Amino acid sequence: MVYDIYSWDKRVTAERINLAMDRISQIREEDDAVCADVKFKDFFVELASFLEKVNDIRKKKETGEFEALSFEELTDIQNELFYDLREDIYAGSVYNPDVLEKIFDKDFVSPFLSLGFEVRAALITVFEGDFEGFVNILELFLQVYGTAVEGASAKEITDVIYWYASDYLDITARKRIIENFTASNRFFYNIIMNDDLSDLRYLFKFGEYIGSNEINTAKYLNSLDSETVRLCAKTFVDGYRDGFFAMQKDITKRSVVSLVYNIGFERIVKEAVIFFEDMGFEVVLQRKPYRLADMSPVKNRGICSGGVNRQFEYDHKFDMNIFTKKAYLDRKLEVCKRTFEEIKEDMSKYGGPALMESFGEREFLPVKKKSANAFSEKQNNLMTGYRNELMLLQDEYIDTSGTAFCIIAWPLPSIAKDEKIYSNIFDDIIRINTLDVTKYKDAQQKIIDALDKADTVSIVGGVGNKTSLTIKLHELKDATKETNFENCGADVNIPVGEVFTSPVLKGTEGTLFVKDVFLSGYHLKNLCIKVKDGMIEDYTCENFEREEDNKRIIDDAVLKGHKSLPMGEFAIGTNVIAYNVAKKYDIFEKMPILIAEKMGPHFAFGDTCYSHEEDNITYNPDGKAIIARDNECSIRRKTDIKKAYFNCHTDITIPLAELGDIYTNEPDGIHTYIIKDGKFVLKGSEILNE
At 51-60, the pLDDT tens digits run 999 999 999 9
Q: In terms of DSSP H, where are the helices of 418-498? A: 419-433, 437-451
Question: What dihedral angle (degrees, nearest 10) is formed by the CA atoms of 582, 586, 590, 592?
Answer: 0
- Whether 461 is covered by a domain: the verdict is yes
One-letter amino acid of 568: G
Q: Let me know whether 382 and 520 are in one domain.
A: no
Please check whether residues 325 and 376 belong to one and the same domain.
yes
Kindly state whether residues 24 and 140 are assigned to the same domain.
yes
pLDDT recorded at residue 2: 81
Query: CA 677, CA 690: separation in Å to the nearest integer?
Result: 16
pLDDT of 490 reads 78
Identify whether 158 is part of a domain. Answer: yes
Tell whether 458 is covered by a domain. Answer: yes
Indicate whether 20 and 93 sit together in one domain: yes
State whether 524 and 612 are in the same domain.
yes
Average pLDDT over every residue of 648-666: 94
pLDDT at 379 over 70: yes
Question: In this predicted structure, what is the pLDDT of residue 36?
Answer: 52
Q: Which amino acid makes up residue 199?
A: D
Residue 30 has pLDDT above 80, yes or no: no
User: Are 219 and 271 members of one domain?
Assistant: yes
Which residues of 238-315 form beta strands (DSSP E)? 256-260, 282-284
Establish if 384 belongs to a structural domain. Answer: yes
| 192 and 310 belong to one structural domain | yes
HSE of 287, CA atoms in CB hemisphere, 13 A: 19
Query: Same domain for 510 and 657?
Result: yes
pLDDT of residue 34: 54
Mean model confidence pLDDT for the chain: 94
- Give the per-residue pLDDT at 642: 83
Span 386-405, average pLDDT: 93
Closest CA to 49 of 105, 132, 116: 116
Strand partners, 514: 527
State pLDDT tens for residues 95-128.
Answer: 999 999 999 888 999 999 999 999 999 999 999 9
Phi-psi region of 68 (alpha: psi -120 to 50; beta: other; left: phi over 0): alpha
Has residue 662 got a pLDDT over 70?
yes
How confident is residue 641, by pLDDT bands cut at 50, 70 and 90? confident
pLDDT band at 7 (very low <50, low <70, confident <90, very high): confident
Q: Is the pLDDT of residue 32 over 90?
A: no
Residue ending a domain, among 409, 424, 452, is: 409
Q: How far is CA 393 from CA 175, 338, 386, 405, 561, in A?
A: 17, 11, 10, 20, 21
Angle at which helix 419-433 crosses helix 576-585, to 10 degrees, equals 170
Res. 393 pLDDT band, cuts 50 70 90: very high
Q: Stretch 169-180: mean pLDDT, rounded?
A: 96
Residue 105 inside a domain? The answer is yes
Q: What is the pTM of this model?
A: 0.90
Find the mean pLDDT for residues 522-543: 96
Cis peptide bond upstream of 495, omega within 30: yes
Same domain, 125 and 71: yes
Predicted confidence (pLDDT) per residue in 293-309, tens digit: 999 887 899 999 999 99
User: How far is CA 73 from each of CA 67, 70, 381, rounded to the nearest angstrom?
Assistant: 11, 5, 47
- Please give the residue range of the domain that contains residue 261: 180-201+210-409
Domain boundary, last residue among 409, 426, 448: 409
Count CB-CB contacts under 10 A for residue 26: 11
With a pLDDT cut of 90, the percent of the chain lying above it is: 84
Q: What is the pLDDT of residue 8?
A: 76
User: 188 and 146, same structural domain?
Assistant: no
Q: How far apart are CA 9 and CA 483, in angstroms?
A: 60
Residue 33 has pLDDT above 80, yes or no: no
Determine the average pLDDT of the residues in 440-455. 96
pLDDT value of residue 197: 98
Cα distances (Å, whole numbers) of residue 469 to 439, 507, 513, 568, 668: 29, 10, 10, 14, 20
Model pLDDT, residue 35: 56
561 and 649 co-located in one domain:
yes
Examine residue 419 and state whether it is found in any structural domain, yes or no. Answer: no
Does residue 300 belong to any structural domain of this protein?
A: yes
- Is residue 424 a part of any domain in this protein? no
Give yes or no for a contact between 512 and 471, defined as CB atoms under 8 angstroms apart. Answer: no
pLDDT reading at 589 higher than 90: no
CA distance 416 to 603: 28
Q: What percent of the chain has pLDDT over 70?
A: 99
Split at pLDDT 50, 70, 90, the class of 248 is: confident
Same domain, 152 and 185: no
- Name the domain count of the chain: 3
With bands split at pLDDT 50, 70 and 90, how would you rate the model's confidence at 31? low
pLDDT, residue 190, reads 98
pLDDT at 38 > cutoff 60 = no
Residue 148 has pLDDT above 80, yes or no: yes
Does 9 or 570 have the greater pLDDT score? 570
